[in-house]
Amino acid sequence: MKQLVMGLLLGLTVAVGLAAAGTASASDIDKINGSIRVDAGQEVDDVSTVNGSVRIGRDARARKVETVNGSILLDTNATAESIDNVNGSISIEEGAKVAKDVESVNGSITLEKGSDVTGKASNVNGRISLESAHVGGGISTNTGDILIGRDSRVEGGILVEKSNSWVRLGKEPVPRIVIGPNAVVQGSLKFEREVKLFVSETARIGPVEGAQAVRFKGDQPAD
């Protein structure tokens, strides 16, 4: 994730510099301070800001969508090539699609009904949740909870990595991993740290390493 942060900061610096020099694409949108909103149905290239949120409107199309400090929202049926941020949530609304990866450092990642991420969905801190959604390249986190909601599908497995931080203020919370009714997780579920793993009786999952799965009935585990 350190590489993600450095790469994102470098990429934003280069993009803003190119825009200032007049060499960026005419349809790129680049800022240092301020939020960006792409109107419904609009088609743009790269969208990036350092301090501010980004909203890609309904049915709009974008390539790379990036920010350092701020949330990112991909509205209903919108599409993007990739989404990256450092501090802030990422929301992928109903029917929206991302062709490559969705990555955050400190922030939740939410996929609504019918949304699709062809690549991976990953963060360090923050909840990752899917509701009748699809991720094709696996899911990974360090300290965040994961909810693979009803009818969701994940290829590439799940990875919860151990924390490499030298700074620890008290005991870290134990991530809660829930695989909901009729959900499918293909590939291994690997846990490098303690987690609480709950799997619906109607879900299908790959091999589990590093945790004991607790099966449950209904929509949510009792615990």
User: Do 139 and 159 lie in a common domain?
Assistant: yes
> What DSSP designation does 114 have?
T
User: Do 140 and 206 lie in a common domain?
Assistant: yes
User: Do 78 and 172 lie in a common domain?
Assistant: no
Q: Contact 213/196 with Cβ under 8 angstroms?
A: no
Instruction: Give 172 or 151, the one with higher predicted confidence.
Output: 151
* Total of domains in the chain: 2
Domain ranges, residue 60: 1-126
Chain segment 58-96, per-residue pLDDT in tens: 999 999 999 999 999 999 999 999 999 999 999 999 999
User: Whole-model pTM?
Assistant: 0.87
- Of 126, 152, 182, which closes a domain? 126
Chain segment 14-26, per-residue pLDDT in tens: 444 444 444 445 5
User: Do 134 and 121 lie in a common domain?
Assistant: no
User: Do 66 and 78 lie in a common domain?
Assistant: yes
State the pLDDT confidence band at 170, using cuts at 50, 70 and 90. low
User: Do 13 and 122 lie in a common domain?
Assistant: yes
- Of 102, 126, 150, which closes a domain? 126
**What tokens does 84 get?**
């990256």
**What tokens does 108 get?**
């939740």
Q: What is the 3-state secondary structure (H, E, C) of 42-88?
A: CECCCEEEEECCEEECCCCEEEEEEEEECCEEECCCCEEEEEEEEEC
